[in-house]
């Protein structure tokens, strides 16, 4: 969440930053008023508490002096003040809860160098690699759902039979390709990132910590009986690894990676192209995430982006990097770069990774702090994350890009060691 102290001391700067997102600033007015009232009630409560403590001392002194009548009168006053203190404490807690609820829905302040814009149409294309629209032959202009069905490596019909629409089933070489992509991404980041296998179901607080709740409640799968949520990304559990902890600055940055299944309702996908693997409810992804100090954040962000782009480049896929504008960055993000691959069969650019810097927004929600080396007190850490590799759309781009005139699919060279040296994806068993 945003820094409430900064809103108090620099209200114009906070308003100007959030105005760049094009949002209604009315919530800030409510927050300022709730904050004023909560602090006023808390101050009054504390004054009553101090009066009760002073009376208690006086009652003890009067009893020692044998002045029981005077002590009794003060005790009656103390009881009345105690009831008042209890009521004020309840009011302060209620106002604090309302204040937090308002803060939880206010998005992060965009970074100063985040480009201004109202929507995805204003995103800035930073670089394009390997894309020539005239270089693709007709045999590459076949969509992956047709290729998958022809080779028997993607079974959308049975995926839907098992679980419903937008659930998919990979078969044979298609399933092996999923596994190969995951292992490639893990291996490429094992030099600097600790591998973690977190739970796939997490608590409400864990979802709140990243900003996925309450904002994206309609996009999430909730197990009401146990009050657990299926993770939409490994970012969610990884961010909360150090929740309510104080880290040592000398141990930062800390880096983690995780391969998990991810679950998204895609509740807002009505009217969008949901064919094949373009938009699915469950998918595999390798996530990379870091805790850092503010001073380390820019370098860490650049490193995450280099790593995510590097895997896509080594797969030989045409790709581009977008600097997302203020109107398109995620609710929790201060700065985000998207990586998109070109899928010639679908004839679309497909987002395969978002690499984001969240400043202290998520860590403030999760209460993750660090103790500066040689300094006093604590500071809020910065969190950053990105998709090292999200499988479905990369899978789609590979089978379309590498389709041969005979209908078989050439395996990118970098993946062959993970497929037992296999050079072609064909119909039949994966081996």
d(CA 378, CA 374): 11
Average pLDDT over residues 3-7: 97
Structural domains of the chain in order of their starting residue, each with its CATH number: 4-104 (1.10.287.40), 120-425 (3.30.930.10)
Residue-wise pLDDT tens digits, 285-330 = 999 999 999 999 999 999 999 999 999 999 999 999 999 999 999 9
pLDDT of residue 65: 81
Average pLDDT over residues 204-232: 96
* b (16+ CB within 10 A) / e for 392-423: bbbbbbbbbbbbeeeebbbbbeebeebbeebe
d(CA 29, CA 18): 13
Residue-wise pLDDT tens digits, 137-165 = 999 999 999 999 999 999 999 999 999 99
Model confidence at 430, pLDDT cuts 50, 70, 90, reads: low
Q: What is the pTM of this model?
A: 0.93
90 against 273, higher pLDDT? 90
Residue-wise pLDDT tens digits, 150-205 = 999 999 999 999 999 999 999 999 999 999 999 999 999 999 999 999 999 999 99
pLDDT of residue 376: 84
* H-run or E-run covering 350: strand 348-357
Active-site amino acid positions: 264, 279, 351, 354, 393
Q: Say how many residues make up the chain.
A: 431
Average pLDDT over residues 221-241: 98
Is residue 272's pLDDT more than 80?
Answer: no
Average pLDDT over residues 258-277: 86
pLDDT of residue 150: 97
pLDDT of residue 273: 78
The dihedral region occupied by 211, where left means phi > 0, alpha psi between -120 and 50, and beta the remainder, is left
Average pLDDT over residues 61-77: 83
- Which pair of structure tokens corresponds to residue 115? 């480009």
Closest CA to 397 of 349, 338, 353, 354: 349
């Amino acid at each position: 969440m945003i820094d409430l102290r900064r809103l108090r001391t620099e209200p114009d700067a906070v308003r100007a930053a959030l105005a760049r997102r094009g949002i209604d600033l009315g919530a800030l007015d409510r927050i300022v008023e709730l904050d004023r009232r909560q602090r006023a009630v808390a101050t009054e409560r504390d004054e009553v508490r101090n009066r009760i403590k002073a009376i208690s001392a006086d009652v003890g002194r009067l009893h020692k002096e044998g002045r029981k009548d005077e002590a009794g009168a003060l005790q009656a006053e103390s009881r009345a003040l105690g009831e008042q203190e209890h009521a004020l404490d309840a009011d302060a807690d209620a106002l604090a809860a309302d204040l937090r609820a308002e803060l939880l829905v206010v998005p992060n302040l965009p970074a100063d160098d985040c480009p201004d814009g109202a929507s995805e149409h204003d995103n800035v294309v930073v670089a394009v690699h390997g894309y020539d629209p005239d270089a693709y032959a007709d045999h590459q202009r076949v969509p992956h759902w047709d290729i998958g069905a022809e080779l028997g490596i993607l079974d959308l019909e049975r995926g839907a039979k098992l679980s419903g629409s937008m659930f998919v089933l990979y078969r044979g070489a298609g399933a092996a390709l999923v596994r190969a992509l995951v292992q490639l991404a893990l291996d490429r980041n094992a030099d600097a990132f600790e591998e973690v296998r977190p739970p796939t179901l997490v608590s409400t607080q864990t979802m709140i910590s990243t900003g996925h709740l309450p904002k994206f409640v309609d996009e999430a799968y909730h197990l009401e009986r146990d009050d657990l949520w299926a993770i939409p990304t490994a970012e969610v559990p990884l961010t909360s690894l150090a929740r309510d902890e104080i880290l040592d600055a000398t141990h930062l940055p800390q880096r983690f990676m995780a391969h998990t299944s991810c679950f998204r309702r895609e509740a807002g996908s009505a009217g969008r192209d949901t064919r094949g693997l373009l938009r699915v409810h469950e998918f595999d992804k390798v996530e990379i995430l870091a805790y850092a100090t503010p001073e380390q954040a820019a370098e860490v962000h650049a490193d995450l982006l280099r790593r995510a782009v590097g895997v896509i480049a080594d797969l030989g896929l045409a790709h581009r990097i977008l600097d997302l504008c203020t109107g398109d960055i995620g609710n929790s993000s201060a700065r985000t770069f998207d990586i998109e691959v070109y899928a010639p069969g679908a004839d679309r650019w497909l987002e395969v990774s978002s690499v984001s810097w969240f400043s202290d927004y998520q860590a403030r929600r999760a209460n993750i702090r660090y103790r500066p080396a040689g300094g006093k007190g604590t500071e809020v850490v910065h969190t950053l994350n990105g998709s090292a590799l999200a499988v479905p759309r990369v899978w789609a781009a590979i089978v379309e890009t590498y389709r041969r005139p005979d209908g078989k699919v050439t395996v990118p060279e970098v993946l062959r060691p993970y497929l037992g040296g296999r050079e072609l994806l064909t119909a039949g068993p994966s081996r």
